[in-house]
Structure 1
Amino acid sequence: MPRDSLIRLAVFLGVLAALLLAERLRPWRRATPARWPGNLGLGVLGALAVRATLPAAAVGAALWAETRGIGLLAGAPLWLALPVALLALDLLIYAQHRVSHAVPLLWRLHRVHHADPSVDATTALRFHPLEILLSMALKMAAVVALGAPPVAVLAFEVLLNATAMFNHAAIRLPPRLERALRLVLVTPEMHRTHHSEVPAETDSCFGFCLPWWDRLFGSYRAAPAAGEAVVIGLPGWRAEAEQRLDRLLLQPFRRVP
């Protein structure tokens, strides 16, 4: 396994284990583990799909561009290229996420993520493999266009994965800490608004890592209107049978049950 893959895997397992423990110690809601096989299964299939079809992935694309001097940041010093690449890639993911809600065909894929009737750290893995492939292809193209340094791309991939698990985690942060973190990071309370069943709330708070894009582009909502009573998921897809891996894989091609 390439070194960057080992780094990503080690961080992923460590963060997932820590968040699952935090969900037991400071729970927001008790999320049923019955959803875990489907969520984890999608995560594994998505990783395998990328390895089978886009084995170089984003870090490989960065290495390819670097050896050829391609991209806007080619030749720039690392102290400049690193933060610019991190900000640009995070903005890209924000934009991609927002478009996936606006384009019906993309929404059918992304709907698999929102159909989770609960949120916890495993929800961050619940993406259809086709959406994962599209996202990776977009990232690879952006990395080449930017000429992003490989170390910046690796840092972004690790950061995105870790923060996505964090902001989906079913944990209750102390209010003062939550308010402070929200200034620089998408928090679980902020992201739960995005998983509300209310369409106007689902179409808000698109950030995964940095919260600034939502504020800048007018998609920020401080909290769901229902507060702590917010209903998670999408009507019609909450049944336990719909959480099976086979049903999740076929969901984009099916109508609401």
Structure 2
Amino acid sequence: MAAFADWIAAHEILVRGAAFVTVFALMATWELRAPARALTLSRSLRWGNNIGLVVLNTVLLRLVFPAAAVGMAAWVAGEGWGVLNQVALPAWLAVVLAVVVLDFVIWLQHVMVHAIPALWRLHRVHHADLDFDLTTGARFHPLEILLSMLIKFAAIALLGPPVVAVVIFEVLLNATSMFNHGNVRLPGRVERVLRWFLVTPDMHRVHHSVEDDETNSNFGFSLPWWDRLFGTYRAQPRAGHTGMTIGIHGCTDPRQACWLTGLLALPFRGRISGYTINRRSWDPPEPENEP
């Protein structure tokens, strides 16, 4: 077990890269064969720009944080920092606890970027996608990616997780993000059971609704329990999964919502006067006046 964990930690880039390519290929095939919704824009347009943003973020992260989260975990372990380095636990239990706690940290971070208007400016790049598919799951502004890594560093320093746990967490986070953003639908019975243990595409699709109260729900990426525990869980969108509108209010121009240049500039456009976590109510639209 120890030798296997050491191998995974030593080959982190290879492990993460292989997992990403494998899950991407599987989800892309599933989407092409059995899409849940009809796409409104060209797949080549969206995929080209979304994946371009992923490449940009990957290069930027490796330039700014060459060792990334795994390197931070190795350094913290060497210094003996963090709660898990102060208590004697079986290796498997330390790994499981670390993965669960890190998942909660990411859930809390996700709530935070909705709750603070300045951070919502960055996060709306993710929500402005006019369609919902596996590439949406990796579409984040570079400044949010850097912020997320700093939050991971802080969590790792406080927690002191095993290095292998951080590798497993990063692989799971990437894989589940592509899965739960997939333009796919599971059989009803399977989906209802699975969403108790894993965030499903139907569960997360609600979070990408244009309606504020639906957007401010279902924040989980991997584990679905946090939303149920903290009251941010919503089972289904009002308009149904095929009738709901994806995106954010006031951002329907593909030049802003899809093109790479528009995505990079989006946080610096317009005013953000609300759309925070406390806006979880919904009022039906006023009926039009009859002639």
User: What TM-score, normalized to structure 1?
Assistant: 0.96
Two-structure CA RMSD over aligned residues (Å): 1.1
1:71 match: 82
1:247 match: 262
User: How far apart are the structure 2 equivalents of 1:132 and 1:252?
Assistant: 13
User: How far apart are the structure 2 equivalents of 1:141 and 1:211?
Assistant: 23
Question: 1:19-57 CA deviation, whole Å, 9 max, x = no partner?
Answer: 010001221013331211221111111111110111111
Q: Does 1:230 align with 2:244?
A: yes
User: How far apart are the structure 2 equivalents of 1:173 and 1:245?
Assistant: 31
1:18 match: 26
User: How far apart are the structure 1 equivalents of 2:92 and 2:26?
Assistant: 31
1:28 match: 36
User: How far apart are the structure 2 equivalents of 1:250 and 1:3?
Assistant: 35
Amino acid at match of 1:233: G
Secondary structure, in 3 states, of the residue corresponding to 1:73? helix
Secondary structure, in 3 states, of the residue corresponding to 1:227? coil
Unaligned runs of 5+ in 2: 1-9, 272-291
- Tell me the matched-pair count: 255
User: How far apart are the structure 2 equivalents of 1:12 and 1:117?
Assistant: 23
Q: 1:176 aligns with which of 189, 198, 201?
A: 189
Report how far residue 76 of structure 1 moved. Answer: 3.4
User: How far apart are the structure 1 equivalents of 2:179 and 2:252?
Assistant: 23
2:69 match: 58
User: What TM-score, normalized to structure 2?
Assistant: 0.85
Which stretches of structure 1, 4 residues or longer, exceed 4 Å deviation after superposition? Answer: none
In percent, how many aligned pairs have the same letter?
53
The 5 Å alignment of 1:94-243 reads 94-228=107-241, 229-242=243-256, 243=258
Question: 1:104-132 CA deviation, whole Å, 9 max, x = no partner?
Answer: 11000000000001100000111001100
Amino acid at match of 2:212: P
Amino acid at match of 1:240: P
Unaligned runs of 5+ in 1: none
Of stretches 60-69 and 234-243 in structure 1, the one that deviates more from structure 2 is 234-243
User: How far apart are the structure 2 equivalents of 1:41 and 1:238?
Assistant: 20
Q: Does 1:9 align with 2:50?
A: no
- Larger-Rg structure: 2
